[in-house]
A and B are shown apart, each in its own frame.
Chain A
C-alpha cells in the first residue's frame, strides 16, 4: 500500500533539486526551471494531502491556483529575461547588475 510518506519523499526530492538548480545555475531560464520544479513539488504535496487527508477537494483546488500563479510567473519572468537580454546581450544573471549604485 502506497502511503502518504511515499509522496512526501518524492516531493522533498523534487523541492531540493529545484533549490539546487536555482542556486547553482547562472542562466536565467535555467533558474526558472528550478522554480518550476519547486512549485510542482508543492503541488504534489497538496494533492497527496487532499487524497489521504480529510477526504475533501481543498488540496486540489489549491493546486489549481498554484498552476495559475506559475503560468503568470513564467510569463512575466520571461518578459524580464528577454528585456535583460536585449539590454545586455546575455542571459546570465550575474551580469544583471544595472541597478547597483
Chain B
C-alpha cells in the first residue's frame, strides 16, 4: 500500500467509526464528542483531496463553532447535575432498514455510473484562487450567503429572547 492509501484508510476509519458512535451511543455527551472526531476525520480527507483552505475552514467552523453550539444545546436542555443525559432510541428497525437501503442505493449509483473523470487538479494551494473566485464570478452568491447568515443569527437571537410580557 502506498502511504497515501494508508493515510486515507486511517482517516476513513476515524470518520465512519466515530460517525457510528455518534448515531449509536446511548449518551448525548458521547455522541457530541464522537462528532468531534468525525469532523477531524473529514478535515483529514479534505487535506488528502488537496483542499487546504476547506480543511482549515472545517476545523474552524465545525469544530470551533457548530460543535460548541451543539454542546451548549446539550447542556442547556438537560440539568447538568442529573446524570441522565440519555437519548432514547425509537423505531430502530425501520430506521436501520431505510438507512441501509439508502446506503445500498448510493453505493450502486457510485459504482455503476460512468463518472466523467477529468484531468483532475494537482494538489496546490487553493486559498488565493478561492478568494479571487469569491470576489469575482461568485460575488453575488457570496453576498447572499453573508446576508443569509446575518438574518439567521438575528432570527435565532429573536427566537430565544425571553419576552417580558408573555
Interface residue ranges, A against B (CB under 8 Å): 1-2, 4-21, 23-30, 32-34, 36-37, 40, 43-44, 47-57, 60-61, 63-65, 67-76, 78-83, 85, 91-92, 94
Given contacts A10-B15, A20-B23, A29-B28, 18 further A-B contacts (CB under 8 A): A10-B16, A16-B99, A19-B99, A20-B99, A21-B23, A25-B88, A26-B88, A28-B73, A37-B19, A40-B42, A47-B51, A51-B50, A51-B51, A53-B115, A56-B121, A57-B126, A73-B152, A76-B152
- Residue pair A27, B70 in contact (C-beta under 8 Å): no
Cβ contacts under 8 Å, A1 to chain B:
2, 4-5
Chain B nearest CB from A89 CB (Å) reads: 9
Interface of chain B: mostly helix, strand, loop or mixed? helix
Type the 1/0 row for B127-155, where 1 means its CB is closer than 8 Å to any CB of A. Answer: 00110011000100100010011001101
Cβ contacts under 8 Å, B94 to chain A:
23
Count of chain B residues near A, Cβ 8 A: 82
Interface residue ranges, B against A (CB under 8 Å): 2, 4-5, 8, 12, 15-16, 19-20, 22-23, 28, 31-32, 35, 38-39, 42, 45-46, 48-51, 53-54, 57-58, 61-62, 65-66, 69-70, 72-74, 76-78, 87-92, 94-96, 98-100, 102-103, 106-107, 110-111, 115-121, 126, 129-130, 133-134, 138, 141, 145, 148-149, 152-153, 155-157, 159-160
